A and B are shown apart, each in its own frame.
Chain A
Amino acid sequence: MSNLQAFRDETRDWLESNCPDSMRKPMTSADDACWGGRNWVFKSDDQKVWLERMAEKGWTAPDWPAEYGGGGLSKEEAKILREELKNIKARSPLDSFGIWMIGPAILKFGSEELKRQHLPPIIRGEIRWCQGYSEPNAGSDLAGLQSKAEDMGDHFLANGQKVWTSYGDKADWMFCLLRTDPDAKKQLGISLVLFDMKTPGVSVKPIKLISGSSPFCETFLDNVRVEKDQVVGDVNQGWTVAKYLLTHERAMIGDMGLASAGSKTLGMIASEKLGLTNGLLSDLVLRNEIAKWEIDAMSFSCTAERVRDESKAGQGVGATSAMLKYYGTELNKRRFETLMRVGGSDDLVWEGPMSRDGQVAKTWLRTKGNSIEGGTSEVQLNIIAKNILGLG
């Protein structure tokens, strides 16, 4: 038996005895997700146990080095773990900007001290992170950011304003892009710094979304002290780190196109809602729309698989994260437009049990942000055109 087969068998056994039953059921809403952090209140004992057991093995960050608490798995092993988790329909033990975004950046660019300080609490879900990139006048044109950090000798002093900071009010630490050289050209004077949200001078104000919730905030920085050893990569080289991090963010957001995997398919949901006539969905126009979506979704999920397998084998063009982000988010938006059509007026009910308080409608509205956050669809198309196709 090959080592990989042995690993698969062990993994399957371990998951079988360690993943609580309630963690093998599809999430009923975004509220079922586990984000961790200092102030996290677990939704259930099972959620807590599941996180602790996975974190103990380092499997919240399967391919990070074991010396920092990660799983230390090879790409092949990580793929097997993903497949086995999918097989039992396991919920993600931990959703985390730490794992998706700042962790990989620290691993690649951070000092040894930063790795030892920040990676283990990320893996264990003890510290929750937020992203301070966008500003009121720097969105797509991120390098136009103006919030600054002045060199005060033994520390930096940060001032300015960030906006659209997802979970800024719930996070423990922020990774933040600040201008450290006001005279350098745009991209050249930026640094990526880390600070605790409890630092004096940091304040947040939630912003309400069209979906009704307030997952993101304005963040104000008023004479905030940032320690010098909390710069990721070199001072004024933050743009390189920021871009690297964005590719990870895109991969994560793009995966939302796959979100339907594991849960009920659109075809199943529509069949239950509308019924079948002579074996065909009762609304034939909708049937066509759903089938086309599912065809695209299946093709997309094969693409995510192929891109991973190619990068493992050292083939392929790389730089495909922009494509996955673009395609995956547009797909997810389409999915929810179709779902809303399936639901009809029932799913337009905002409050009350009929629509579980507008569950589908709220998610549908939230998906509109998918093609904006992490770089808009138009920006992704620009990246593909310039970096991959070489169009000037």
Chain B
Amino acid sequence: MALILNEEQLMLKESAKGFLSENASIKEVREQRDSGSTTGYADTLWPKMVDMGWSAILVPEEFGGLDFGNVGMAQIVEETGRTLTASPLFSNAIVSVSLIKKMGSDDQKSNFLPKLASGQLMMTLAIDEEPHHNPEKIGMMATEEGDSYLLNGKKRFVIDGSTADKFIVVARTDQKSKGKDGLSLFFVDSDAIGVEVERTQMVDGRNSAFVVFKDVVVHRKQMLGQKNKGFKPLSSVLDLANIHLSAELLGICEETFDRTLQYLKQRKQFGSLIGSFQALQHRAAHWWSEIEICKSIVLKALQSYDQDDARSPFLASIAKAKLCEIAELSTNEAIQMHGGIGMTDEYEIGFFIKRARPAQMLFGDHNYHVNKFAASCGY
């Protein structure tokens, strides 16, 4: 398979570009942040994204979706990295849809997927318990009681957690298990008795939530996937989520680069354009080269995921590790090459670093994925 986008994927990318520049520029990001709203994204934007069909892209046709694949979806995600658009697209239409597609019973699929496709239901994954992602170190317990489970524990960094109707919660159903064993997933209503949601506004102006579960009763029909066997399918969806985060980071890299290149061609010092200084030229050329490298690995990881290639977990970690590294380079170089104006809130370039870091951290940062990659290579 050629490592390029096909006709339809290119078209989707173009239409996403057009839509976002019209409806979701960084101006909107700023307005949203300064409005005092607590949703973390513009309420009016999501219905429009649903109208565009974006919430249905990964949903199979039999459940009211478009089944267009991850390569296509990631073109939109990459563009939202360029415009820093906040929306529930990632938590809902990518992570939740993919989990249910992969793990759900027939009932769960026909119950939830159409509602996710039409944007009516808000759902998100609640997995992390500590400041660093580690799906093998889940402490949250689900104790069996008759035909229900009792959930106890805490989750943090739950993306869009304060606006979600339902959580998909990862918990231990085997009390004695450790690591990858004994994990199960549950649907839990956010207004269930014993669930306490605390909104935390993040450095990017978006929401994540700190959620406490205290003796929350969940019927066993609300279990997603098989008991004690949650890790493997979960891990595969985390891989996918990381590939999409890499696509978003790629958009951030490209946009910070393009804007900085413009600036190098317009700002003058010492009577010359600063882009004529070789010290900056070489850094820009190196930076551009790294972004070219990033484009290739993101596309490779996406294609391999859509093809069910056995190497996709491995490629997902390569992509996320690489993109975290270059997003850091990009957002730092962008500020440095803008000088003082790059430090101001009024100028937009500084917004990118604030979105990049949470996206890097979510579901494992550079170090996490370098380690995961090495482990998967057997050393």
Contact = CB atoms under 8 A, between A and B. Distances in A.
Interface of A: 265, 267-268, 270-271, 276, 279-281, 287-288, 290-292, 294-296, 298-300, 302-303, 305-306, 309-310, 312-313, 315, 320, 323, 326-327, 378, 380-382, 384-386, 388-392
14 contacts: A290-B379, A291-B377, A295-B318, A295-B322, A298-B318, A302-B296, A305-B300, A306-B3, A306-B299, A313-B4, A384-B285, A384-B289, A389-B284, A389-B285
Interface string B264-308: 110000000101101011101110110011111101100000000
B375 interface: yes
Contacts of B322: 295-296, 299
Which applies to chain B's interface (DSSP): helix, strand, loop or mixed?
helix
B273 A392 contact: yes
Contacts of B294: 299
B371 interface: yes
Nearest to B5: A315
Given A299-B293, A323-B292, A391 B264 contact: yes
Contacts of B90: none
Interface string B301-340: 0000000000000010010011000000000000000000
A276 B275 CA distance: 49
A296 B370 CA distance: 11
Nearest to B273: A392
Interface of B: 2-4, 261, 264-265, 273, 275-276, 278, 280-282, 284-286, 288-289, 292-297, 299-300, 315, 318, 321-322, 370-371, 373-375, 377-379
Contact of B296 (A292, A306, A313, A378): A306
A58 B1 CA distance: 26
A287 B4 contact: no
Which 4 pairs show the lowest CB-CB distances between chains A and B?
A385-B281, A384-B285, A302-B296, A291-B374
A268, A327, A390, A391: most-surrounded residue (chain B CB, <10 A):
A391
Contacts of B286: 326, 381
Contacts, number: 124
Contacts of A382: 278, 281-282, 285
A310 B300 CA distance: 14
A296 B293 contact: yes
Given A300-B293, A305-B296, A392 B276 contact: yes
B288 A384 contact: yes
B289 A327 contact: yes
B293 A385 contact: no
Nearest to B314: A298
Contacts of A320: 292
Contact of B374 (A268, A281, A388): A281
Contact of B288 (A268, A300, A388, A392): A388
Nearest to B321: A295
A270 B281 contact: no
Contact of B373 (A295, A310, A312): A295
Contacts of A309: 2-4
A281 B379 contact: yes
Nearest to B277: A391
Contacts of B292: 303, 320, 323
B3, B280, B379: most-surrounded residue (chain A CB, <10 A):
B379
A288 B297 CA distance: 20
Contacts of A276: 379
Nearest to B366: A292
Contacts of A313: 2, 4
A332 to B, nearest CB: 15
Contact of B275 (A279, A291, A391): A391
A310 B4 contact: yes
Contacts of B315: 298
A306 B2 CA distance: 8
A254 to B, nearest CB: 11
A324 B158 CA distance: 40
A322 to B, nearest CB: 8
Contacts of A298: 297, 315, 318
Nearest to A265: B377
B282 A378 contact: yes
B293 to A, nearest CB: 5
A323 B289 contact: yes
A334 B313 CA distance: 26
A295 B3 contact: no
A385 B315 CA distance: 30
B261 A389 contact: yes
Given A309-B2, A313-B4, A303 B293 contact: yes
Nearest to A287: B374
B370 A288 contact: yes
Contacts of A305: 3, 296, 300
A310 B10 CA distance: 13
Given A295-B370, A378-B282, 4 more contacts: A320-B292, A327-B289, A391-B264, A392-B276
B275 A294 contact: no
A292 B280 CA distance: 26
Contacts of A292: 321, 370
A300 B294 CA distance: 9
A291 B370 contact: yes
Contacts of A280: 374-375, 379
A388 B358 CA distance: 32
B282 A299 contact: no
Given A281-B379, A299-B297, A302-B297, A291 B288 contact: no
Nearest to A327: B289
Contacts of A294: 373, 377
B125 to A, nearest CB: 26
A140 B378 CA distance: 43
A327 B297 CA distance: 15
Nearest to A385: B281
Contacts of A392: 273, 275-276
Contacts of A290: 374, 379
A390 B276 CA distance: 10
Nearest to A331: B293
A265, A295, A382, A390: most-surrounded residue (chain B CB, <10 A):
A295
A281 to B, nearest CB: 4
Contacts of A312: 2
Contacts of B371: 288, 291
B148 to A, nearest CB: 39
A296 B321 CA distance: 10
B379 A385 contact: no
B329 to A, nearest CB: 13
A378 B281 CA distance: 10
A381 B370 contact: no
Nearest to B281: A385
A294 B373 CA distance: 9
Contacts of A295: 318, 321-322, 370, 373
A380 B282 CA distance: 9
